[in-house]
Amino acid sequence: MSKPVKGFSKLTKEEKISWLSEHYFNDKEKGIDVLKKYWNKDERLQQLHDEFIENTISNYYLPLGIAPNFLINDKLYTIPMAIEESSVVAAASRAAKFWMDRGGFKTEVIATEKIGQVHFRYEGDPEKLQQFFTKIKPALFASLEDLTANMRKRGGGITGISLVDKTDALDYYYQLHCTFETLDAMGANFINSCLERLADVLQKEADNHRDFNDTERDIEVVMSILSNYVPNCRVRAEVRCPISSLNEDPELTPASFAKKFVQAVKIAQVEPYRAVTHNKGIMNGIDAVVLATGNDFRAVEAGIHAYAARDGQYRSLSHAEIDGDDFVFSLEIPLALGTVGGLTNLHPLVKLSLEILDFPKATELMQIVAVAGLAQNFAAVRSLVTTGIQKGHMKMHLLNILNQLEATPEEKEHFTSLFQDKVVTHRDVTQAVEDYRKNKA
At residue 125, the 3 state secondary structure works out as coil
Catalytic residue among 28, 50, 85, 326: 85
Q: How many CA atoms lie within 13 A of 308 on its CB side?
A: 28
Q: How far is Cα 284 from Cα 270, in angstroms, rounded to an integer?
A: 21
Catalytic residue among 296, 347, 364, 395: 296
Question: Is 106 noted as a catalytic residue in this protein?
Answer: no
Question: Is 296 noted as a catalytic residue in this protein?
Answer: yes
H-helix segments, 359-441: 362-385, 389-404, 409-418, 426-440
Query: How many other β-carbons are positioned within 10 Å of the β-carbon of residue 173?
Result: 16
Catalytic residue among 106, 280, 319, 412: 280
Q: How far is Cα 82 from Cα 89, in angstroms, rounded to an integer?
A: 9
Decide if 340 contacts 276 (C-beta within 8 A). Answer: no
Q: How far apart are the first and last CA of the chain?
A: 43
Question: Is 49 noted as a catalytic residue in this protein?
Answer: no
Catalytic residue among 16, 114, 393, 395: 393
Helices and strands (DSSP H and E) totals, the chain: 16, 10
Q: What angle do CA 219, 223, 229 make, to 5 degrees?
A: 125
Question: Is 434 noted as a catalytic residue in this protein?
Answer: no
At residue 198, the 3 state secondary structure works out as helix
CA distances from 165 to 27, 199, 287, 405 (A): 59, 16, 35, 61
Decide if 229 contacts 303 (C-beta within 8 A). Answer: yes
- According to DSSP, the residues that pair with 322 across neighbouring strands are 327
Which amino acid would we find at residue 397?
A: H
- Percent helix, strand and coil across the chain, each rounded to 5? 50, 20, 30
Which amino acid would we find at residue 49?
A: H
The H or E element containing residue 240 is: strand 234-242
Point out the residues that are catalytic: 85, 280, 296, 393
